[in-house]
Structure 1
């Protein structure tokens, strides 16, 4: 009886799912569960506690290019392991905080270690392991954050209610070590380390001949990319897209609760979390099946439509439509940056380039959350904020399509030159 052995890269994807499921919600989705109990107990304002999120994002903005380069060029498993351990220790240290300064110090270290513990190393390793179905593989791994948040949220709420927020920090710090750390040892850096080839590597030459040159990948260094205007336009497009994603998500629950109450908002959020997992996996499939231009156009249009629905919050049925579209569209902040970067610039210098792209992702996150809140405070409504978000999505789409076209053109030029050199030599 012949049994086909499972390609080891899919085990790496599974490990990525578990790491994302355990770590990402504790930094993003479930972080808000600590706001009320911590501020009530400690006696400082929610805005003061909110600065912790800004610090975490700010540190990530600074460190992403360096960690991306180190993870790609040095001992990936060692760096990843140290970052997971450091993240767990930083998370646990919140339980010992006695004043707001202690929270800020813990947030600083949490931001530093989270940069090398969560999505960045996962996307770098998976890019090494997959040529074919790379978008699907990355999106499946990143989708772990959706179901992880859905599982962790009620458990965390129950622990906070019955044992206090300090105990909750300690419990989930231990869970990081118990669940995420072993998965790091599944994440082998390159298929060559196991005597294997990347998934679909044998078909690269054939694909290059049958499809567009963009499928080959540019494989250009970061320093050279910086000399091309389209790269900076690409970074601007990613910044705009992530500004909208992180900023709108931070206010979604409050926006719904203002109009229809907390219970309705909770129901919409649950429906939204279910859709997010479907959205991430489907977006990866779209990028693999078609190309970056079609995939980016699709997701930006869907995302813009979801924000447009928010302009009419009084309609409950429309809010369910919004939640479905938003669950698909919000994947722009997690799936688009790693998948598009790999597709456009190739795997050779991916770690270094994506670390730089990741800086723009978290810069958008750190600026958008207070910006959307300020617009609400000044106007008493989210209408202007949602209109700004729609405008930024349109700008992002234009920027990403333009940079994609220019990147394809540069790739074609390089292939022509290389073919000419080869023919001359032969």
Structure 2
């Protein structure tokens, strides 16, 4: 690696930032801007339109394991490009919708193509490029969704107001093609394809040779890790964490507006979006600096404190504190899954394993949004929902720490078995 030049992996990260900045907000953060104008114009209920989000998440749950495997083993750039084109086409098709069935069909295809267009290929490719500072690189890439949402939101609102929601779907579908397809050209699958080594691979190897118990990756196949109970506990932990993240975010604006009005809710959300960008980058640094256990503990504790603040919404100053904590805590849903998965299971079979993890992430998303809404409908309050979220964060933390300990123990056993001449090594329990 030539130290006088910027390591190419950072260009991959830069391209990933732009992809995340555009694609992710269009189907998550900014999607809510369509609810009022679409339902008012088309005459169907908001809950009926909300099923589109459930369909998108549901399709992603089903396809993630397959696309993760294909992206890792096939022509990654070609699959990525096909998915972006498909996502743009399905996004544009919403502009042609004449009834709710048309919207559901568009949502089905949007879910299918979004799975292979956004976070999954980004995390797989960056994991290949970075052995060192992997957490930071992934978190920087994923942080694009934060500032992207802050930029796209007012633009989309303006287009919808002046030209209509149908025009907005077409404009942003075109933006997907114009901005993202050139970025995919920069997204080389791995450093080996360009004659490079992964960033810091030489330092990691040198450090491993000097330690009594060298740091190594588990690098088991998906079929192998599925035989261990800690893997399923890990998936459950991720499900709980993402259930809280997606579910609480879907209702946060309505919750704040009910208590303090729409203007206050909008201000808190703007502050939150700014903190999200910084929160993702800082969380990646924490993981790189202190490891997965401390990083996971830190993020879960901050998230739980944010949810605890929501139990006292009448105190306006506390809601600003909540926005700061929530901006960091909500990053668990995007940063934790790829970073922890890479740290625990290694890079060799990362694609197929992360595809399975991504299924748990979006299963949490698909179930949480209606679940939190049902709690409100049944009780007339979000209090019970926020208490449930706090409990699930604690359960998630325990599950993730347990699976990490068991995974490290298995990795150490693997080192002991492979140690030549029967030389004894220290075993981590």
Q: What band does the TM-score fall into relative to the shorter chain?
A: over 0.9
Gaps of 5+ in 1: none
- Label 1:203 to 1:100 Cα distance change in 2 as closer, same or farther (>3 A): same
Q: For the aligned residues, what is the CA RMSD?
A: 1.4
Aligned partners of 1:275, 1:162: CA distance in 2, in Å? 30
- Asked whether the equivalents of residues 72 and 351 of structure 1 are also in contact (C-alpha less than 8 Å), the reply is yes
- Label 1:135 to 1:212 Cα distance change in 2 as closer, same or farther (>3 A): farther
- Asked whether the equivalents of residues 243 and 368 of structure 1 are also in contact (C-alpha less than 8 Å), the reply is yes
For 1:187-233, what per-residue CA distance to the aligned partner results, in whole angstroms no more than 9, with x for missing partners?
00010111100000101223335679694221111101010000000
- Asked whether the equivalents of residues 24 and 145 of structure 1 are also in contact (C-alpha less than 8 Å), the reply is yes
Aligned partners of 2:212, 2:328: CA distance in 1, in Å? 27
Query: SS of 1:29's equivalent?
Result: coil
Shift of 1:420: 3.6
> Which residue of structure 1 lines up, in the alignment, with residue 241 of structure 2?
241
- Label 1:99 to 1:78 Cα distance change in 2 as closer, same or farther (>3 A): same
Aligned partners of 1:148, 1:213: CA distance in 2, in Å? 43
Shift of 1:137: 0.1
Of 211-220 and 79-88, the range deviating more from structure 2: 211-220
For 1:1-42, what per-residue CA distance to the aligned partner results, in whole angstroms no more than 9, with x for missing partners?
x98100000000000000000100001000000000000000
- Label 1:209 to 1:241 Cα distance change in 2 as closer, same or farther (>3 A): farther
Aligned partners of 1:211, 1:287: CA distance in 2, in Å? 21
> Which residue of structure 2 lines up, in the alignment, with residue 191 of structure 1?
191
Aligned partners of 2:257, 2:93: CA distance in 1, in Å? 32
TM-score (norm 1): 0.97
Structure 2 counterparts to residues 101-116 of structure 1, below 5 A: 101-116=101-116
Query: SS of 1:323's equivalent?
Result: helix
Query: SS of 1:218's equivalent?
Result: coil
Please state if 1:125 is matched with 2:125: yes
Query: SS of 1:106's equivalent?
Result: helix
Query: SS of 1:185's equivalent?
Result: helix
- Asked whether the equivalents of residues 213 and 408 of structure 1 are also in contact (C-alpha less than 8 Å), the reply is no
Shift of 1:181: 1.1
> Which residue of structure 2 lines up, in the alignment, with residue 328 of structure 1?
328
- Label 1:77 to 1:54 Cα distance change in 2 as closer, same or farther (>3 A): same
Structure 2 counterparts to residues 346-357 of structure 1, below 5 A: 346-357=346-357
- Label 1:286 to 1:152 Cα distance change in 2 as closer, same or farther (>3 A): same
Please state if 1:374 is matched with 2:383: no
Shift of 1:423: 6.7
Aligned partners of 1:130, 1:163: CA distance in 2, in Å? 44
The number of equivalent residue pairs is: 423
- Label 1:242 to 1:415 Cα distance change in 2 as closer, same or farther (>3 A): same
- Asked whether the equivalents of residues 60 and 359 of structure 1 are also in contact (C-alpha less than 8 Å), the reply is yes
Structure 2 counterparts to residues 377-396 of structure 1, below 5 A: 377-396=377-396
Structure 2 counterparts to residues 387-426 of structure 1, below 5 A: 387-420=387-420
Aligned partners of 1:279, 1:38: CA distance in 2, in Å? 33
Structure 2 counterparts to residues 10-89 of structure 1, below 5 A: 10-89=10-89
- Asked whether the equivalents of residues 214 and 343 of structure 1 are also in contact (C-alpha less than 8 Å), the reply is no
For 1:355-378, what per-residue CA distance to the aligned partner results, in whole angstroms no more than 9, with x for missing partners?
000000000000000000000000
- Asked whether the equivalents of residues 215 and 343 of structure 1 are also in contact (C-alpha less than 8 Å), the reply is no
- Label 1:133 to 1:172 Cα distance change in 2 as closer, same or farther (>3 A): same
For 1:30-88, what per-residue CA distance to the aligned partner results, in whole angstroms no more than 9, with x for missing partners?
00000000000000000000000000000000000000000000000000000000000
Gaps of 5+ in 2: 425-429
- Label 1:213 to 1:31 Cα distance change in 2 as closer, same or farther (>3 A): farther
- Label 1:3 to 1:227 Cα distance change in 2 as closer, same or farther (>3 A): closer
Aligned partners of 2:222, 2:299: CA distance in 1, in Å? 26
> Which residue of structure 2 lines up, in the alignment, with residue 344 of structure 1?
344
